[in-house]
């Protein structure tokens, strides 16, 4: 399974490495968000930099992921999406606009450092080292 989750420095990391399904991303995300060890609400970094087949998934898959996080707004402080390419960044930006319309603060980033800085700023913590 190419979707991994971990808590580190107050951020929930959801890392995609390889070919994945949207269901797998949601299943792993739900388990991590509902884990009693995960603080609530938690900033989330969805790292898609190792995702294969992202180009084929398109806007509907991103909207599905946005729906997933929006439905769990009580668990999620905000979501940073790490984009592996310009095309993915554009699709993720559309997803972020859709998320914000549903009351979830989300934003795509090109680098992990920028994403972590934005996430840590939201929770008032110190930005962790990339």
Three-state DSSP class for 125?
A: coil
What's the confidence (pLDDT) of residue 108? 93
> Residue-wise over 34-48: b if at least 16 C-beta within 10 A, else e?
eeeebeebbbbbbbb
Q: How many Å separate Cα 75 from the centre of its chain? A: 13
pLDDT value of residue 34: 93
73 belongs to a structural domain: yes
Task: Establish if 87 belongs to a structural domain.
Answer: yes
User: Does any domain span residue 130?
Assistant: no
End-to-end alpha-carbon separation of the chain, Å?
Answer: 24
Residue 105 has φ and ψ, to the nearest 5°, of -80, 120
| 40: in domain | yes
pLDDT lower than 70: segments of the chain: 1, 53-59, 122-130
- Residue 79 belongs to domain spanning: 3-123
Q: Looking at the domain assignment, is residue 36 inside a domain?
A: yes
Predicted confidence at residue 92, as pLDDT, reads: 82
Question: Is 128 within a domain?
Answer: no
Single pTM value for the model: 0.85
Give me the CATH number covering residue 19.
3.30.750.24
Contact (CB, 8 A) for 65 and 22:
yes
Q: How many domains does the chain have?
A: 1
Sheet holding 3-8, edge to edge: 3-8, 11-19, 42-52, 76-82, 106-109
């Amino acid at each position: 399974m190419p979707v991994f989750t971990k808590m580190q420095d107050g951020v929930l990391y959801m890392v995609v490495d390889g070919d994945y399904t949207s269901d797998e991303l949601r299943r792993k995300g739900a388990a991590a968000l509902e884990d009693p060890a995960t603080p609530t609400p938690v900033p989330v970094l969805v790292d898609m930099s190792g995702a294969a087949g992202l180009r084929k998934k398109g806007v509907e898959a991103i909207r599905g992921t946005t729906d997933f996080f929006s439905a769990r707004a009580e668990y999620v402080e905000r979501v940073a999406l790490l984009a592996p390419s310009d095309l993915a960044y554009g699709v993720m930006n559309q997803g972020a606009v859709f998320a914000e319309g549903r009351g979830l603060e989300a934003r795509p980033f090109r680098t992990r450092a920028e994403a972590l800085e934005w996430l840590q700023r939201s929770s008032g913590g110190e930005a962790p080292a990339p």
